[in-house]
Every structure is written in C-alpha cells, then in structure tokens.
Amino acid sequence: ETGVTQTPRHLVMGMTNKKSLKCEQHLGHNAMYWYKQSAKKPLELMFVYSLEERVENNSVPSRFSPECPNSSHLFLHLHTLQPEDSALYLCASSQGGRAGTDTQYFGPGTRLTVL
C-alpha cells in the first residue's frame, strides 16, 4: 500500500453506537490531520498531530476523540454522534516541521452516515 489509506470507506451508525475511523500513511510523514467535509462547506480542520502530539483542536465536540499511537497511524473514535455529524471524514498527512511549503496528502475518506 502506498500513500494515505482510510478504513472503512463507508460507515452507517446509530446515535448510540461507538465506532472508530482508521487512517494509515505510508509516506514517512510526521504530521497527520483529520478533516470534515460537509455538503456545500469548505473542508473543516478538526485535529492536527505532529510527531504524535496533538497540536491543534478546532473546538471539536468531545464526541469525536482522536488517537495517534505512532506517526503512521491516526484514529478518530466516534461516540454518541448526531445526524448532523454525517459527512465525509478525510485524513491527511504531511512532512510537518517548520517549513512553510508543507503539502498535505489526503486519503480517500470515510463517508459517515449517522441515523
């Protein structure tokens, strides 16, 4: 596998379920990101991890809980979600560091539907 992979690609869950999204990057990058893409809205940054430490948390509700066990893996744990949380969840990775020209590479996304 190369690039950034995400599983599952599609997920349907009830409001009381607990599920997790998984992201894996094979690019040797040091930074990983979770984004949410809702219809007719810009990509919304949710979380940033650099060298496995969370460096950004954009006021995301606590029902979303990220985990970064190592620089290649990123999880998003979901609990007690609302129907308005239905969206495409995208993972990205980048080299990280202080370089201004830090390009992010995205996975294919997980299409989440909350019933």
Nearest distance, CB of residue 48 and another protein, angstroms:
6
Nearest distance, CB of residue 46 and another protein, angstroms:
10
- Burial of 21: CB neighbours in 10 Å, binned 0-12, 13-18, 19+: buried
In this complex, which beta carbon is closest to another protein, that of residue 83 or of residue 98? 98
In this complex, which beta carbon is closest to another protein, that of residue 74 or of residue 91? 91
Q: For binding to another protein (CB under 8 A), which residues are involved?
A: 4, 6, 9, 31, 33, 40-43, 45, 48, 50, 55-56, 90-92, 96-109, 111
CB 6 within 8 A of CB 92: no
In this complex, which beta carbon is closest to another protein, that of residue 87 or of residue 92? 92
Nearest distance, CB of residue 10 and another protein, angstroms:
9
For residue 23, what are the β-bridge partners?
6, 74
Task: List, in order, residues 6 or more apart from 45 with CB less than 8 Å away.
Answer: 33, 34, 35, 56, 58
Nearest distance, CB of residue 109 and another protein, angstroms:
5
The beta strands (E) that lie in 9-86 are given as: 10-13, 18-25, 31-37, 44-50, 53-57, 64-70, 73-79
In this complex, which beta carbon is closest to another protein, that of residue 3 or of residue 61? 3
